[in-house]
Structure 1
Amino acid sequence: MSRIRLPYIDHFKDRHGTTRYYFRRPGGKRTPLPGYPGSDEFMRAYAAAEANEPPPETSKERGQPGTFDRLLGLYFASVDYKRLKAPTQRAYRLAMEKLVRDEKIGHRTVSGLKREHIKTMMADRVDRPAAANGVLKKLRILIKFAIDLGWRQDDPTIAMRKLKEGEHHTWTDEEIAVFEAKWPNGTLQGTAFALLLFTGQRLSDVVRMSWRDVDGAGTVIQVTQEKTGTKLWIPLHPDLTGALAAWPKTHFALVTTAYGEPFTAKGFGNKMADAIAAAGLPDRCVTHGIRKAAARRLAEAGCTTHQVASITGHKSLAEIERYTREVNQRTTAGAAILKIASRKRKEDEQGGS
C-alpha cells in the first residue's frame, strides 16, 4: 500500500494498539479522521477539516477499534479487496467471516494474535488440510493489511508451512465412457459434460457460456474465465460439435435450468454431482476432475505444457507439467519394456536355431 502524505496530519496509538489519525493546524484543535489514510471516509473527513467545515456524517463502524471485526470492515472497504475479481471477493468474504465467527475472535485484538493461536486453528482442521491451509492464507492477508494500517509490526504467519493436501481424482477414460453412456448427446447432463471435458473449463465458466460465444462457422468457442479474466479461443472438438448439434438452441445460455434460467455455479455443481451419482460412478469422481481429465488427455495427445495451458487457461503450469511428465514417463517406460522383450525374443530365436 502506497503512503499518502497530507499536511496537518498527526497520529498516535491508543491502548488497543490501533493507530488513530487526526487533523490539526498549528495552534488549532484536533479533528478525528476516521478510517485509514486514503480511504473514502478518511479523505472526506480530511477535506472537510481542511475547509473548516463540519465533519461529514459517517456510518457506524464495525466492531471496536483494533479488533478483527473492525479489521474486516476496513478490509472489505479497501482498495486491496475491491481490486479483486468478483468471485474472489465473494470467496474471501465468506471464508474470512466464517473464520472470525468459528474462532470467536471478532472482539479480539489483532495485535494479540500469536503464532501459537494460528497453529491451534490449523491443528483443529488437520483432518481437512484444505480448510487448515485456507485459515493460514486468509490470516496472512488480514495480518498484512493490519501491518499496512500500522496496527502491528510483525507477521506471525511468516514461515508457517501449509499442510499437504490431497488432490482431486483425474477421471479415467473408462469413467468418462460410463458417464457418456448414461447421459448421451441430447441430454442436459451430456451437453454439460461435453462442454466441461472438451473445453477444459471450470464450472463457473461453463455456466456463463452462451450460443453467442460460438462463432458463426461453429468451429470455435470464446471464453473469458471468471476467476482470472483470461480470454481464450478454443477450437471445438468434433465430439463437442456433435453434442451441441444435438442440443436445441432454445435459450441464450448453452446450459439452463428446467425453467430456462442460467445456472449458478453452485446449482450447476449440484446438478453434475447428481448426474455423476446416477451414472453409478465412485465418490472420487467429482466435477473438477473432468477439467483435470481434459488436461491429461491433451498431454497424452502429445501437447506441450503451453499448448495444454492455451486450452485450460492455467496460469500456473506446475500441474500441467506433472501431467506431461507422467505421460512422457509412461511412453518412455513402455518403449523400454518393448526393447527388453524384443531382445529376449532375438536371444530365444538365436538359441533355437
Structure 2
Amino acid sequence: MQFRLKYVVEDVDRHGNVRLYFRRNGRKVRLRGPAGSPDFLTDYRRAANPPKEAEAQTAKVGRVVPRSIRWLCVQYYKSAMFTELDPRTQKVRRSIMERFCQNKNDGDKPFALLLPRHIRVRRDEMADRPEAANSMVKALRQLYRFALRYDLHDDNPADKVEYLKGNPDGFHSWSLAEIEKFEDAHAIGTPARLALALALYTGQRRADLVMLGKQHVRDGWLIFTQHKGRNSKPVRMEIPVIPALQRVIDATPTGDLTFLVTAFNRPFTSNGFGNRFRKWCGEAGLKNCSVHGLRKAAAARLAELGCTEQEIMAITGHTTSKEVTRYTRAASQKARAESALRRFSGEQNSDKSVPLLAGIISGGTKT
C-alpha cells in the first residue's frame, strides 16, 4: 500500500540523484532514503517533532519582551532624543546597545532592575579596552536619561558608574620631526601632501576635511559648518587660508566638489579617508600617526606660539576649553617653563601679541 507523508518533497541534484527533504515553515531538513525505509522514518519523525528548546529558540527570534532593556532601546530609537542625533552617532550607539543586549541575553531582562553593580561588572569585563567600556557606559547613561525624561523610570543607574581611566593624552600628537618625515615621503602635488596640509593648517576633523572644497573658499577664507553636531548644535567656521596651504592646493589636482578625492575621482568617506591616511603614514614609516593627531598638533603649535585658548578654539571649533586644554597641555607647560627661565635669567622680553597662525607658516610644513 502506498501513502504520502506531509511536508516531504523531492529534489533532483545536478547528477540526477533524487534527494528527499522535510520542508515546513521555511525550514528544510534532509531525509535519508529510500522513502519508507527505517532511516527515512526516523529522520521524518525527528524533523516533524523538533526538540522543545529549538522551537522556543525559533519563537524567540524577533520577539521583544515588554519592559525589558531591549524594549527600552526600541522606545529610545523612536524618540526625538535619538532621531535628532547625527546619523553616524545613531549607528554607533545602536551598535553598542545591540552588543549589550546580546551579551548573556541581558536584553530580555527588566530594565528597571538594572543596577550600577551590574553595569560595573560589564564595564570591568572590557577593562582591556577602556574606551569601548566607557562608550558603553555613556550609551547606557543616554538610554536611561531618555527613560527619566519620558517617565518610564525614576533612576539612572549608569550615572553612578565611573569611567575607566584610558589614555589621558588620547591620539598621538605629531612632532615637527614626524611632519617633516611625512613630507619627505610625499611631495607637494600628491593627495597625501594635500591631506597633511589641510589637516595641519585648518585643525579640522577628518569628517570636515573630506567635505571641504573650492566652493567653501571666499575671499581667502574657508567658510563652512562643521560636520559634528551640525543637526543639533551647528558650529559655523571661518578660517583664513594661509599662503602655505594655498600653495599646496594650487599645486595639487583636486576634485570638483572636494579638495580630496579617491583614485576614482570620487569624494572620500570619513572612514575611507582615515584608512587611506594611515596607509600614507605607513609609507612614510609613521605607524603611530593618524589624521586626528594632526588636529592635536595644530592646537599644540598654536599654544606654543602663545595663542590663548579662545584663539585656538576659533580654529578648531571646540565649544568648550576642556578638549583644547588636553590637546595643548604639553605645549602650554613648555611655553610657561621657557617664560619662567627667561625671567629667572633676566632675559624676559616685553610681551608681544602673536598673530593667529603666523608662526605656523615658517615652522609648519616644507614648501
TM-score (norm 2): 0.71
Q: Identify if the C-alpha distance between structure 1 residues 324 and 114 changes in structure 2 by more than 3 Å, giving closer, same or farther.
A: closer
* 1:270 equivalent in structure 2: 275
Q: Aligned partners of 2:332, 2:113: CA distance in 1, in Å? A: 51
Larger Rg: 2
* 2:53 equivalent in structure 1: none
Q: Identify if the C-alpha distance between structure 1 residues 250 and 321 changes in structure 2 by more than 3 Å, giving closer, same or farther.
A: closer
* 1:199 equivalent in structure 2: 202
Q: Aligned partners of 1:296, 1:194: CA distance in 2, in Å? A: 16
Q: Aligned partners of 1:291, 1:143: CA distance in 2, in Å? A: 33
How many residues end up aligned between the 2 structures? 280
* 2:162 equivalent in structure 1: 161
Segments of structure 2 that go 5 or more residues without pairing to the other structure are: 1-61, 348-367
Residue 242 of structure 1: how far off its partner (Å): 0.9
Q: Aligned partners of 2:279, 2:74: CA distance in 1, in Å? A: 38
Question: Which segment is superposed worse, 93-102 or 201-210?
Answer: 93-102
Segments of structure 1 that go 5 or more residues without pairing to the other structure are: 1-60, 344-353
The amino acid of 2:333's aligned partner reads: Q
Matched, 1:305 2:306: no
* 2:260 equivalent in structure 1: 255
Per-residue CA deviations over 1:281-325 (Å, capped at 9, x if unaligned) read: 142x22211110010111112211111100100122123235556
Per-residue CA deviations over 1:84-141 (Å, capped at 9, x if unaligned) read: 2333223322322233234532222212212221011110111111111111111111
Q: Identify if the C-alpha distance between structure 1 residues 328 and 295 changes in structure 2 by more than 3 Å, giving closer, same or farther.
A: closer
Per-residue CA deviations over 1:138-179 (Å, capped at 9, x if unaligned) read: 111112222344443222223321111202111111111111
Q: Aligned partners of 1:291, 1:322: CA distance in 2, in Å? A: 12
Residue 213 of structure 1: how far off its partner (Å): 0.8
SS across alignment from 1:223 = strand
CA contact (8 A) 1:299 1:323 kept: no
Per-residue CA deviations over 1:14-62 (Å, capped at 9, x if unaligned) read: xxxxxxxxxxxxxxxxxxxxxxxxxxxxxxxxxxxxxxxxxxxxxxx96
* 2:325 equivalent in structure 1: 321
SS across alignment from 1:104 = helix
CA contact (8 A) 1:187 1:247 kept: yes
Q: Identify if the C-alpha distance between structure 1 residues 290 and 96 changes in structure 2 by more than 3 Å, giving closer, same or farther.
A: same
* 1:85 equivalent in structure 2: 86
Q: Aligned partners of 1:99, 1:86: CA distance in 2, in Å? A: 20
SS across alignment from 1:158 = helix
Q: In the TM superposition, what are the counterparts of 1:66-85 in structure 2 within 5 Å? A: 66-85=67-86
Q: In the TM superposition, what are the counterparts of 1:237-252 in structure 2 within 5 Å? A: 237-252=242-257
Q: Aligned partners of 1:258, 1:103: CA distance in 2, in Å? A: 44
> Structure 2 residue aligned with 1:183, among 178, 183, 186?
186
CA contact (8 A) 1:62 1:70 kept: no
Q: Aligned partners of 2:332, 2:117: CA distance in 1, in Å? A: 44
Q: Aligned partners of 2:342, 2:255: CA distance in 1, in Å? A: 53
TM-score (norm 1): 0.73
Q: Identify if the C-alpha distance between structure 1 residues 103 and 233 changes in structure 2 by more than 3 Å, giving closer, same or farther.
A: farther
* 2:97 equivalent in structure 1: 96
Q: Identify if the C-alpha distance between structure 1 residues 66 and 280 changes in structure 2 by more than 3 Å, giving closer, same or farther.
A: same
SS across alignment from 1:117 = helix
SS across alignment from 1:154 = coil
CA contact (8 A) 2:306 2:335 kept: no
Q: Identify if the C-alpha distance between structure 1 residues 203 and 250 changes in structure 2 by more than 3 Å, giving closer, same or farther.
A: closer
Question: Which segment is superposed worse, 288-297 or 161-170?
Answer: 161-170
* 2:298 equivalent in structure 1: 294
* 2:211 equivalent in structure 1: 208
SS across alignment from 2:158 = coil
CA contact (8 A) 2:148 2:155 kept: yes
Question: Which segment is superposed worse, 96-105 or 293-302?
Answer: 96-105
Q: Identify if the C-alpha distance between structure 1 residues 328 and 206 changes in structure 2 by more than 3 Å, giving closer, same or farther.
A: closer
CA contact (8 A) 1:205 1:226 kept: yes
Q: Identify if the C-alpha distance between structure 1 residues 104 and 273 changes in structure 2 by more than 3 Å, giving closer, same or farther.
A: farther
Q: Identify if the C-alpha distance between structure 1 residues 136 and 103 changes in structure 2 by more than 3 Å, giving closer, same or farther.
A: farther
CA contact (8 A) 1:62 1:73 kept: no
